Amino acid sequence: MADTIAAISTASGAGAIGILRLSGPEALPIAYRHLSFFEGAFPLSSIKPRNAYTCRFVDGEKKLDQVVFIYFAGPNSFTGEDLCEIHTHGNPILLREALECLFRSGARPAKQGEFTKRAFINGKIDLNEAEAIGRIIGARSRFELELAQKNAFGEISRLASNLRSQLISLKAECEAEIDFSTEDLTFESLEERKKRIRSISDICSNLLKRSSETETLLERSRVVLYGEPNTGKSSLMNLILGRDRSIISEIPGTTRDYISEDFLLSGVPIRLIDTAGVRETRDKIEKMGIERSEKEFSQADVRLFVIDVSQKNDWNKFAEENRSKLEGAIVAANKSDIRDPSWDPQYILKKNYPGTVLVEVSCKSRQGLDTLVSEVSVKLQGLESSEDYVLLEERNRFHFSSITRSLENCLTLMEEGAPAEIYIKEIDSALEQIGEVNGRVDTEEILGRIFSKFCVGK
């Protein structure tokens, strides 16, 4: 790159430290013009890469701040170019004033994602790692962060490289058979070749399936409140949200349809859903609401079964009748502050239903609320800790889908008795797509679309 770019690389707003970043051929000379070293005369040639220098940032005779300056000589830098970082105090006005000084000295404002784009163009990272950096910055949960970190450390890139190696080997075998068909040589059987193609296709299909499951989980984890009328579902929802969202009434059947609210619980994006109370009814509208409640509860990622322990009940019979709903659910035993003598948590706990957790709570006194929220978080973390999940960007989902289609077309042609000269074209197509996964792209439009999602300074 012929020009030198500069930007503020820390988040907007005040903070303890702010960082200015420059990258390009003139990064060091431009920064040096605004540095005043405490040692007095300090020539440019004395600055050593990867050393931290405490000095002043100046605008002519005006001292702006005491800073820490670090120079990274290309190609041994994040961008692969000469790169400088100036660490100032984190006042936004100060940072902006210092940045304007760098612009007046020859740098130009960096575009969104331009530092990372230069790192990609200069071969410091591949496209998967570049996209993963954007995910790391914008991750909304620990789960998404861990997946982005795996990609940043090359998981998808290594997988793509392995598949590319297998496809090249497959193509070489096919070409050898075409070129030396008249020679007395032994090649793998057609069935062996089909088996290799199916194996690669299955890897791509499985990857796409796991990616789809991951995206669903990233979008929202569904936490559903379920139970009979007047057990306190709506009150519990309001307490978890910290505000009145559901209407509370002593009249059974107040909630006729489910009510949902999106929010972050322990840093995890969830959709909390309050459903209609489940009971026998002749009211058609209420009956429709109950049917939706059943559906929502069955599809929930975390099921919160709310029961009213202030009422006299045969809890042993209740547990037997609701076994399918209790298994794997968090049971919120509400109104525990006024529990009926008939209530004993052992009626449910002694059944040892798989995954069932019971928490005694009181919406009135807030007793057990923190424990309940903690148990929901544990369930969510359990959903999100599986190593089976994989994060694919939209671009890669397209490429892996195209590879699968090409290989399936290849198998169809082989089944139809097509010669190797014909079906090898589908292998070529798959090879072209796998090359795109790791970033063999050369159109400015594609690169612009990817890096435009980044923040300025990254």
C-alpha 155 chain-centroid distance: 14
Which amino acids are annotated as binding site for GTP, given as ranges?
230-235, 249-255, 274-277
pLDDT exceeds cutoff 80 at 8 = yes
Q: What is the pTM of this model?
A: 0.62
Q: How far is CA 125 from CA 77, 80, 132, 156, 258, in A?
A: 11, 10, 10, 13, 47
Write out the binding residues for (6S)-5-formyl-5,6,7,8-tetrahydrofolate: 21, 85, 124, 458
pLDDT per position as a tens digit, 200-227: 999 999 999 888 877 776 766 788 888 8
- For the stretch 306-347, pLDDT in tens is 889 898 999 989 888 888 888 888 998 999 999 999 999 898
> Which domains are seen in the chain, by residue range?
5-126 (3.30.1360.120), 142-205+399-438 (1.20.120.430), 220-381 (3.40.50.300)
Pick the closest to residue 363 from 268, 300, 260, 274 (CA basis). 274
Query: What are the tens digits of pLDDT across the range 373-396?
Result: 888 887 776 655 556 678 888 888
Between CA 188 and CA 259 the distance in angstroms is 61
Closest CA to 102 of 22, 37, 42, 47: 22
Q: How far is CA 344 from CA 196, 310, 329, 421, in A?
A: 59, 11, 18, 74
Q: Using CA atoms, how far apart are residues 439 and 274, in angstroms rounded to an integer? A: 45
Q: Model confidence at 295, in pLDDT bands (50, 70, 90)?
A: confident
Decide: 88 and 98 in contact? Cβ < 8 Å: yes
Q: For residue 58, give every residue at least 6 positions away whose Cβ sits within 8 Å of its Cβ, in sequence order, or none.
A: 34, 35, 36, 64
pLDDT the model gives residue 256? 43
Both tokens of 336, joined, read 């525990």
Residue matched to tokens 């042609």:
413
Q: What residues form the annotated binding site for K(+)?
A: 230, 249, 251, 254
Q: What is the pLDDT of residues 225-275, one digit of tens each?
A: 888 888 888 888 888 887 665 444 454 444 444 677 777 776 667 788 887
- pLDDT top residue among 295 and 231: 231
Alpha carbon distance 27, 72 (integer Å): 10
Q: For the chain, what's the residue count? A: 458
Q: Give which of 72, 65, 105, 70 is closest to 88, Cα–Cα.
A: 65
Number of Cβ within 10 Å of residue 35's Cβ equals 18
Binding annotation: 21, 85, 124, 230-235, 249-255, 274-277, 458
Rounded to an integer, the average pLDDT of 138-154 is 79
The DSSP call for residue 340 is: -
Whether the CB-CB separation of 253 and 281 falls below 8 Å is answered with yes
**How far is the C-alpha of 83 from the C-alpha of 90, rounded, in Å?**
20
By three-state DSSP, how is residue 82 classified?
coil
Return d(Cα 387, Cα 402) in angstroms, integer.
25
The amino acid at 96:
R
Please state, in angstroms and rounded to a whole number, the distance separating the CA atoms of residues 221 and 380: 8
